[in-house]
Amino acid sequence: MRINVMIPIGGSIGIGIFFGTLFLLHSKYISKVTTTKYKPRMSDEVAQAMANKIIKEAQEHRKNRQEEE
């Protein structure tokens, strides 16, 4: 990074840290732009199937707890 001792070692380290910080800030905050705004939605049939499964499992759980007592 030093060019024929024209830049002191402290200056070259400072320049390296400066550009490294810019790179890290860019990669963390600026470059994370979402290209699509599509959010997949759950269909009504899938939601109903999941609800039925949860209800069935809750009923089985209650039945097993009553049998244990």
Q: Please report whether residue 13 resides in a domain.
A: yes
Taking Cα atoms as reference points, which of 65, 44, 47, 67 lies closest to residue 55? 47
Better pLDDT: 30 or 65: 65
Q: Please report whether residue 4 resides in a domain.
A: no
pTM over 0.85: no
Q: Please report whether residue 1 resides in a domain.
A: no
Taking Cα atoms as reference points, which of 22, 35, 65 lies closest to residue 14? 22
Domain region containing 25: 9-32+42-68
Alpha helix (H) residue ranges in the chain:
9-25, 44-68
Q: Please report whether residue 17 resides in a domain.
A: yes
Q: Please report whether residue 2 resides in a domain.
A: no
Q: Please report whether residue 60 resides in a domain.
A: yes
- Domain total in the chain: 1
User: pLDDT per residue over 9-34, tens digit each?
Assistant: 778 888 899 999 999 888 887 776 65
Element (H, E) at 9: helix 9-25
Contact 2, 12 (CB under 8 A): yes
Q: Please report whether residue 23 resides in a domain.
A: yes
